Amino acid sequence: IGYAWAPVVGAVSPVSVASKMGLLYERLLDQGWWKWAVLPFTLPVFYRSAFPFVATDAFGALQVILGILLLAAHAWFWWKALRGRYNRPAFVAVCLMLLFYGSLAGIILGRVSTGGNDYLEQPRYIVFYAVHLVALLLMWAGGHHPMLPSNPSRRAAGRRMGRWLGVVGCVALLIGQRPSSSHSWRRQPYLEAAYATLALRIDRLALDPEHMTDCLPGMTVCDWVPARRRRLTQLLSQNQLNVFSPQVQRRH
């Protein structure tokens, strides 16, 4: 919202906040009511189903179940934050959780409003979503337990049960991540080859922007008129940006 007050020079006029709020209502009716509440919570746990024995529809149901559990964990988080004593882990956990909520609000307002609900699944946003898992773990590991009984022996048993419950949950998540991690590891060589091919096509586009025909999916620049295509490729190549940067080329 603060960006609306910043000066804009030489760029496309931004969409007003009021217009975005109107678009958000349409997104909310178009499956947004559950995607906003489920996907940001569950995507850091399982971004895609790597289990061949789980059907696509069944994986969607698992996402909803996992989302409900994580929403309950958020309710526990704030109950504990408001009732328990503060220490450093609890303080950092609350700050991280507020950062998660703020990032999610920015993504929904700035991107989902104009790009649709599927924008929530952009891989680059997963690092923002994962912050809430770190906050939950910090609160569990270092926070005060206000619900423990007053009896010393029962209080010690409650602490042990709470500690082992979290450990078992973390181990279960790690075991569940193994197929997904193995799948990602096997895909990496193909992704690198695809990125290299895309970089070569962009380089070829810069050499002859007006007659380029063999564009790959995702090269939206190829849909533009030749004059605009030429201006963009010249801007990138002359200023050594994107794949024309020597540093990027050396790194990859």
Q: In sequence order, which residues have a C-beta less than 8 Å from that of residue 146 and are 6 or more positions away? A: 80, 83, 84, 85
Average pLDDT, stretch 29-42?
86
Q: What is the pLDDT of residue 149?
A: 55
Higher pLDDT pick, 192 / 179: 192
Rounded CA-CA distance 73/49 in Å is: 22
Q: What is the pLDDT of residue 100?
A: 96
- Could you tell me if residue 195 is left (phi over 0), alpha (psi between -120 and 50 degrees) or otherwise beta? alpha
Q: What is the pLDDT of residue 98?
A: 97
Q: What is the pLDDT of residue 66?
A: 87
User: 26 falls in which pLDDT band (50, 70, 90)?
Assistant: confident
The sign of the dihedral angle between the CA atoms of 207, 210, 212, 218 is positive
Q: What is the pLDDT of residues 94-152, one digit of tens each?
A: 999 999 999 999 999 888 988 888 889 898 899 999 999 999 999 988 765 555 555 66
Half-sphere exposure of 222 (CA within 13 A, CB side): 16
Q: In sequence order, which residues have a C-beta less than 8 Å from that of residue 180 and are 6 or more positions away? A: 46, 47, 48, 50
Which tokens in the block code for residue 166? 């979290």
Q: What is the pLDDT of residues 180-221, one digit of tens each?
A: 788 788 888 998 898 888 888 888 888 888 777 778 877 778
Q: What is the pLDDT of residue 103?
A: 94
Which tokens in the block code for residue 79? 């109950």
Rounded CA-CA distance 211/242 in Å is: 21
Average pLDDT, stretch 26-35?
83
With a cut of 80, say whether residue 13 has pLDDT above it: no
User: 75 falls in which pLDDT band (50, 70, 90)?
Assistant: very high
Question: Is the CB of residue 32 less than 8 Å from the CB of residue 112?
Answer: yes
Higher pLDDT pick, 93 / 207: 93
Average pLDDT, stretch 67-74?
92
Average pLDDT of the residues of the chain: 82
Q: Residue 178 burial (CB < 10 Å; 0-12/13-18/19+)?
A: exposed
Q: What is the pLDDT of residue 174?
A: 83
Higher pLDDT pick, 145 / 47: 47
Unique residue bearing structure tokens 């060589």: 189
Q: What is the pLDDT of residue 1?
A: 67
User: 52 falls in which pLDDT band (50, 70, 90)?
Assistant: low
Q: Which of 44-53, 97-106, 154-163, 175-184 has maximum average pLDDT?
A: 97-106
